[in-house]
Chains A and B, each alone.
Chain A
Amino acid sequence: MNLVEGMFVGLYYQLPYPLLHVRTHYSHHSHVTLHNLTTLPASDPPCANPPTNVVAQQNNKLYAVGGYTILRSPTNSSGGGTALANSHLYALDFSSSVDLQKDYASIFTSVTRLPDLVPRIIWGNFLWRDNSLNLFGGSQTTFPILLSDGSYSQSDRVKIGDALFSTDISNTNTNWKRNRPFDYEGTRKTPIGQAAKAFDGDGDNGQGVLWFYGGGYWESPVTVGTEEKGNTVDLKQYSDLWRVPGECDPGDVVACKQTTSTSSSAMNVTRPRMQSTMVWVDHDGNGKNAKGLLVLFGGYINGGDVVCSTSLLVFFWRGRINLVSIKGMGLIILLWDWFF
């Protein structure tokens, strides 16, 4: 077992699907994988499955990035295959009527290969603001990626994303910029991903706020090659809530982020931390006045087991409730009326 595989052992024991699954594939075929990559086409396929995130939405047009694909030999489609990090940003146009049986391919109005400098990120975070797509955090996997010259690389991605990458959504071929680390203060690492994310805003006008909750990172350093990398093996999970407002310069996200701790000791019920789902329930339904609430549900708690939370979480934003206690559904409805 080499060091990279060793790290995946850590992943295996601490993450549920789908990383657990990927590790199984990867470890069983890692050496074959790298050899076989030389026979793959120079451009990896414009297709990937989980978790290919829709990271932005504007006027019924979606943008998606991330994920991975299991590539298999054409002569052995049931074989283990190779995990290959996705390298594309997709634009999907649903602005007009669609017949999936006839129009499927035409939905994808552009499939843009990310420049090699942009890490292939799984479970990352995103911020859609001022027509700029910003990616940060996430797991930069050891899955190999094919570079633009046809060679492959799996180096220097054995860590969580610590930088903010930005591009103009209208021209994703160029102008990707690497900004300073998101968490330069060092007080809290950007989640590895698997954080719950919600967009609060007016996406059609390119304005909005990103909320994310939970996630985790690998706590202990690991040596890969001759370099020591900062995170692997010990999974530290978060249960706090972040709000990244949209009123600041894209290069200054770190300066305008806000952290809202949700780890209050007053909360004695176990809450979900990773792979939860979160939505922004907007009061007006159009995201124009930033009034509403977050609803978070599901997720797991323990790193080694998929122990789903039995809880559903509601976070009231811009609330000023100062209640001594909440008892009964009637009070919840009262709260709702108070807010809206």
Chain B
Amino acid sequence: MRNVHVYDAASATWYVQPTTADNDLFPPDRTEACAVVGTATDKSSYNIYVHGGVTNGTLDGGLWILTLPSFHWIHSDIGTENARAGHTCSKVHEAFMIVYRGIPNLGDAKCDQYAGIKIVDLETLEWVTKMDVTTNMVYKVPAKVYKAIGGR
């Protein structure tokens, strides 16, 4: 996903703009991924977390972040351990992403009544099984992001 298309609503015209990535490491094209957005408290960055999906018949389990306004892709260390597609991602408490159901294995869609929920810590970029909630939680930009783009 190397290109950005910009649509001007006023003129109904499309524009094309490339994204960037370190070491030419762009996320593979995919279908059926899901995403949430984390907004820095100072609005210095808006980070789109993209998880999972299918690329040419293969489940992609990775978690990528497209940080705006630089439109720069950052690859997290999350791998294929919870790969799935056709799922939904929802941000809760500004700090966690709930990954809900989807196809965990291509070629299977059996009931997984007690395995459909996974949680990602949006700051540490890790899968967690515990979600500790406190009052007035805020979104914190992952170190991997602010080291790449600066600020916090």
Name A's B-contacting residues (CB within 8 A). 16-18, 21-22, 45-54, 57, 60, 62, 64, 67-72, 81, 83, 92, 94-101, 104-105, 107, 260-262, 264, 266-267, 269, 271, 274-285, 295, 297-300, 306, 308-323, 325-326, 328-329, 331-333, 335-337, 340
Alpha-carbon gap, A74 to B101, bound state (A) = 22
Contact B139 A285 (CB under 8 A): yes
Cβ B17 vs Cβ A326 within 8 A: yes
Within 8 A of A (CB), among B107-134: 107-114, 116-117, 119, 129-133
Choose one: B5, B30, B101, B108; the contact of A314 (CB below 8 Å). Answer: B5
Having A50-B103, A277-B50, A297-B50, one finds 4 other A-B pairs with CB under 8 Å, namely: A267-B5, A279-B37, A285-B43, A313-B7
Q: In the complex, A105 Cα to B116 Cα: how many Å?
A: 11
List residues of chain A with CB within 8 A of the CB of B55. Answer: 308
Please determine whether A51 and B1 come into contact, CB atoms closer than 8 angstroms: no
B contact residues vs A (CB 8 Å cutoff): 1-20, 28-37, 39, 43, 46, 48, 50, 53-57, 66, 68-71, 85-88, 90, 92-93, 96, 98, 100-104, 106-114, 116-117, 119, 129-133, 139
User: How far does the alpha carbon of A17 sit from the alpha carbon of B102 in the complex, in Å?
Assistant: 11
Known: A52-B88, A54-B90, A316-B7. A281 touches B114 (CB 8 A): no
Question: Is B101 touching A50 in the complex (CB atoms < 8 A)?
Answer: yes
Minimum distance in angstroms from B111 CB to a CB of chain A = 4
Look across to chain B and name the residue whose beta carbon is closest to the beta carbon of A312: B1
User: Are B129's CB and A313's CB within 8 A?
Assistant: no
Cα distance, A97 to B133, chains bound together (Å): 5
Least distance between B87 CB and chain A CB atoms (Å) = 7
Given A50-B86, A52-B101, A306-B31, the answer on whether A326 and B6 have CB atoms closer than 8 Å is: yes
Tell me whether A50 and B4 are in contact in the complex, defined as CB-CB below 8 angstroms, given that A16-B31, A97-B130, A317-B9 are known contacts: no
Assess whether B31 is in contact with A299, with CB atoms less than 8 Å apart: yes
B90–A311 contact, CB under 8 A? no
Contacts of A99 in B (CB 8 A): 129-131
Neighbouring A residues of B130 by C-beta, 8 Å: 97-100
A297 near B1: Cβ-Cβ < 8 Å = yes
CA gap between A326 and B17 in the complex, in Å = 8
Contact of A69 among B15, B37, B111 (CB under 8 A): B111
Asked whether, in the complex, the Cβ of A262 is within 8 Å of the Cβ of B93, the reply is: no
Contact in complex: A311, B3 (CB < 8 Å) = yes
Asked whether, in the complex, the Cβ of A50 is within 8 Å of the Cβ of B85, the reply is yes
Chain A to chain B contacts (Cβ below 8 Å), 11 pairs: A17-B32, A18-B86, A62-B98, A69-B111, A100-B129, A105-B114, A271-B14, A306-B56, A308-B29, A316-B8, A329-B17
Are A69 and B8 in contact (CB-based, < 8 A)?
A: no
B29 neighbours in A (Cβ, 8 Å): 298, 308-310
Evaluate whether A262 and B39 lie within 8 angstroms (CB atoms) in the complex, with A18-B86, A49-B110, A336-B69 already known. no
